[in-house]
Amino acid sequence: MENLVSNTSIAIDILRDDGAFVFHHPPKFIWERDSDSNNEPRNWYKYHFYLHVPFCRKICNFCTFERKQIRKGSIEWFSKLLDSEMNIYLQRDHFQEANIESVYLGGGTASLLGNDVIDHIILRLRQGFGLKKGNIEITLETEPGTKSLSDFEQIRKSGVNRISIGAQAFDDQQLKWLNRSHSVRQTLNTILAAKRAGFKNLHLDIMFGLPGQTMDQWKDTVQRTIELEPTHVSAYPLIVFPDELLDRSLKRNSLPSRPTSEKINAMREYVNEQLHGAGLFAYSTAEFARPGFECKYVKSTWDSSDYLGMGPGAYSRNGHILWENSVVHPNYEKKIIAGDKPIGKRHAMSPEDQLRRDIAMGLCLLEVDVNALVQKSGATFGGQFSKNCEELVSLGLISWKDSKICLTKKGIRYATYIMKLFTNR
């Protein structure tokens, strides 16, 4: 791997490009557990709504999102508790001036929810949480093989207007190695069904750097993705989390090894080039969209917006307060039954930490306006921030003009490293 930093004072000697993103700052191990402030009333104005459905038909070996194997009764259990969680928020928080800017039903596997449950959730968001009529983005994350044409027709009537499909790869062998629960045929059928039902805003997830994946296989996945004419593509470099299922299988050699870092970078460049050529432009380090189809919810998770998450393990942000719902299902249930917000961990950011987070995570959207973030946080953009920027400019990883910091092409490859530098980790 390149050693780009030997002549600088940056306290790291090898740049990592393993995509092991900083998902949160400050890190979760310093967040407070069971804080007395969990139930503090909060005011909601402009915000985004996220639902986390923590069940899947099969557990993919690469995934560390909060998810459990679905069992009989799981969805009923979840739907009932969700209804109570919504009641608790309506009782404790203020939604009089609330305005939901996007809704994302994700997980886990949100498409395991019945159409009636999806309809009910959207209705409740309209009745009490500030979801207005009009063209507000409402996404259903859909695992291939979980929704049919008539399902899509029904949920469209309920107000869902965007479908995100986890295609991952157009190669059955690779899907099998990832322990996916669907075939390529099922992916294609699901995409076709969504289109036939009239969905115009279609998002596909694909991944590169998979075990045994060759450049030719990746090229095939990218070309087939383009032929399907999505409005949005997320092309993720596979992250292998230490000691998780995939990592253990790779170490045991029960899966073929992954491409080298250089090959993975060539894969990134290929998808970038091809999607741009097809009219899908990068608006984040991994997201591409036709103009006007950038996902508002995805952007909100990086751009310092407020968002309210419900369901086990869902994250929320309200100003400088961050929290995560309990990931332990019995604890999530217990808190709701007691009439409390089912929060597991919470953190009140200092102005400096807020600025660090908003710059680092904001760079996932390729560009941040430092002045705006300074104003929002109340912190100052002091000596260390400027020093970091100067060094990153000298390494060719960012450009810095007036108050705008932008990742360069090389910077996108090393985004993880840059984020870590800004978050001081």
67 binds ligand SF4 (CB under 6 A): yes
Q: CB under 6 A: which stretch of 102-110, 246-254, 275-283, 293-301 binds ligand SF4?
A: 102-110
Given 17, 49, 105, 108, the residue binding ligand SF4 (CB under 6 A): 108
**What are the tokens at 37?**
């402030």
Strand bridging mode 55-56 / 68-69: parallel
59 binds ligand SF4 (CB under 6 A): yes
Nearer to ligand SAM, 98 or 412 (CB): 412
Rounded Cα–Cα distance for residues 105 and 49 (Å) = 8
Reference 92, options 343, 324, 346, 341; nearest CA is 341
Q: In Å, what is the CA distance from 33 to each residue of 12, 23, 92, 184, 317?
A: 32, 19, 20, 42, 16
Min CB(425)–ligand SAM separation in Å: 20
Reference 85, options 45, 49, 136; nearest CA is 49
Q: What is the dihedral of CA 331, 332, 333, 337, to 10 degrees?
A: 100
Q: CB under 6 A: which stretch of 59-67, 233-241, 303-311, 406-414 binds ligand SF4?
A: 59-67
Given ligand SF4, ligand SAM, none, residue 207, with its beta carbon under 5 to 8 Å by kind, binds ligand SAM
Rounded Cα–Cα distance for residues 318 and 50 (Å) = 13
Q: Specify whether the CB–CB gap between 234 and 205 falls below 8 A.
A: yes
The verdict on whether omega for the bond into residue 26 sits within 30 degrees of 0, i.e. cis, is yes
Q: Taking CB under 6 A as the rule, which mask of x and - marks residues 16-55 in contact with ligand SF4?
A: ----------------------------------------
For residue 322, what are the β-bridge partners? 317, 347
Given 16, 65, 148, 276, the residue binding ligand SAM (CB under 6 A): 65
188 binds ligand SAM (CB under 6 A): no
Reference 302, options 353, 381, 367, 392; nearest CA is 367
60 binds ligand SF4 (CB under 6 A): yes
Nearer to ligand SAM, 51 or 405 (CB): 51
Q: Taking CB under 6 A as the rule, which mask of x and - marks residues 295-314 in contact with ligand SF4?
A: --------------------
Nearer to ligand SAM, 65 or 123 (CB): 65
Q: How far apart are the first and last CA of the chain?
A: 21
255 binds ligand SAM (CB under 6 A): no
Rounded Cα–Cα distance for residues 348 and 198 (Å) = 43
Given ligand SF4, ligand SAM, none, residue 374, with its beta carbon under 5 to 8 Å by kind, binds none
* 75-134 residues near ligand SAM, rule: CB under 6 A: 107, 109
Rounded Cα–Cα distance for residues 292 and 64 (Å) = 31
Given 118, 197, 210, 238, the residue binding ligand SAM (CB under 6 A): 238
Given 101, 137, 141, 333, the residue binding ligand SAM (CB under 6 A): 141
Given ligand SF4, ligand SAM, none, residue 236, with its beta carbon under 5 to 8 Å by kind, binds ligand SAM
* 153-182 residues near ligand SF4, rule: CB under 6 A: 166
Nearer to ligand SF4, 98 or 314 (CB): 314
Given ligand SF4, ligand SAM, none, residue 59, with its beta carbon under 5 to 8 Å by kind, binds ligand SF4
Min CB(128)–ligand SAM separation in Å: 27
Instruction: Starting at the earlier edge strand, list the strands of the sheet with 404-407.
Output: 367-369, 404-407, 398-401
Given ligand SAM, ligand SF4, none, residue 315, with its beta carbon under 5 to 8 Å by kind, binds none
**How many CB atoms are located within 10 Å of the residue 251 CB?**
11
Nearer to ligand SF4, 130 or 230 (CB): 230
348 binds ligand SAM (CB under 6 A): no
Min CB(59)–ligand SF4 separation in Å: 5
65 binds ligand SF4 (CB under 6 A): yes
Rounded Cα–Cα distance for residues 373 and 358 (Å) = 7
Nearer to ligand SF4, 59 or 192 (CB): 59
Reference 301, options 279, 281, 286, 280; nearest CA is 286
Task: State the residues that interact with ligand SAM by CB under 6 A.
Answer: 62-63, 65, 107, 109, 141, 143, 166, 168, 205, 207, 236, 238-239
Binding site for ligand SF4 (CB under 6 A): 56, 59-60, 63, 65, 67, 107-109, 143, 166
